[in-house]
Amino acid sequence: MAHAYKWRTSPEILARLIDGNDIKTWRSRRVTLKPNEACTFIVNGQLSPIFSDQSIAQIGGGFPRYLASLMKATAAERHVLFGMTGPFDLAVPYQVMNEDGEEFRGHVRLRLQLLKEDLPKMLNYFANHAPTITRKDLVHLLQEHLNHRLVAAAYAISNHNESLRDEFFQSTFAMKAEVLLRPHLAALGLTFHNAYLVTEATSSERLAAHHHMTQQNLSYERVNAEATQEAIEMRQANALQTIECEIEVARAKIRGDQTLEAEAELKQLRILEALWRSEDERSQRLAMESERQKQVRMEQAIEMFKSVQAAKRQRETAN
């Protein structure tokens, strides 16, 4: 029974050219192709039909083939070319500078596809490279051409950074990419679908972002400073109110003490006034009594004088 052969051991592999004579196993190998995979055989320089979406047996190995190779009854050259025919994306990095010395970084995103009927063109690549092509290999192959012929020219004609991201620039870039890459991709059997430029933040954009961040931090600091100042003013107002309350309490206490002292002094003055009034009344009573006694003595003296005069007149009358 034939053993399964897996030609694509990693998702990064796009195509592979294997030598059928290098498959030396006692059991023959077979491969099952998915709908997005294709293969063709190159036997003594002749291409076979292209197969896809089927199982192919006897691609190599097996004891009968071993015996045939010993008897020189097999083909001297026998290769199998595999390819992934589904669309795939490539990210080709770039680093360019404009005439002002500003550096731009990013990558070109390409959407490519290896069509089934174009699979034999992949032999152009394997004629000068390793028998396996991956996304990384294809990026390395296209990077220099893209950087110098496409990306540098696109940045040279752009007026400002914002134009690099608008729809018109991307559409123009895709059309130019298709025109410039068509010969290179056609030699590899690759079909161009789309391309667009992904630009990282430029130095001016980073400067603007830094300026915005600085202004935002200053705004935060300003708001915090205003909040701190307001808190300080509130604490000061509370402290002043507390001091005023304490002063009012002290004043009320002083006024209360002064009122008590004034009331005590008034009480003493009223006592003295009562004493003085009683002394005055006593003096007045004594004076009145003295006047009355004087008046009584005066009347007594007048009465005695009258009685003496009356007695004198009687004596004169008697004489």
DSSP 150: I
Closest residue by Cα to residue 1 from 52, 61, 41: 61
Residue 135, pLDDT score? 94
Phi, psi of 293 (to 5 degrees): -65, -40
Q: Report residue 260 CA to chain centroid gap.
A: 70
Decide which of 3.30.479.30, 3.40.30.160, 3.40.50.10860, 3.90.79.10 is the CATH code for 88-200.
3.30.479.30
pLDDT at residue number 288: 86
Residue 264: per-residue pLDDT: 82
The label of the residue with tokens 């009355």 reads 292
In sequence order, which ranges of 50-166 are alpha helices (DSSP H)? Answer: 63-70, 123-126, 135-145, 152-157
Q: Where do the domains of the chain lie?
A: 3-84, 88-200
pLDDT of residue 121: 92
Predicted confidence at residue 190, as pLDDT, reads 94
pLDDT per residue as tens, the chain (319 positions): 456 778 888 999 999 998 876 666 546 567 888 899 999 988 877 888 898 888 877 665 444 555 455 455 454 578 889 999 999 999 999 988 776 677 788 899 999 999 999 999 999 999 889 999 999 999 999 998 888 888 888 877 765 655 677 788 888 889 999 999 998 899 999 999 999 988 887 777 777 788 889 889 888 989 998 999 999 999 998 988 988 898 888 888 888 778 888 888 888 888 888 888 888 888 888 888 888 888 888 888 888 888 888 888 888 787 6
Report pLDDT for 62.
46
Distances, alpha carbon 246 to alpha carbons 173, 240, 299, in Å: 80, 10, 77
What pTM was computed for the model? 0.60
pLDDT score for 152 = 84
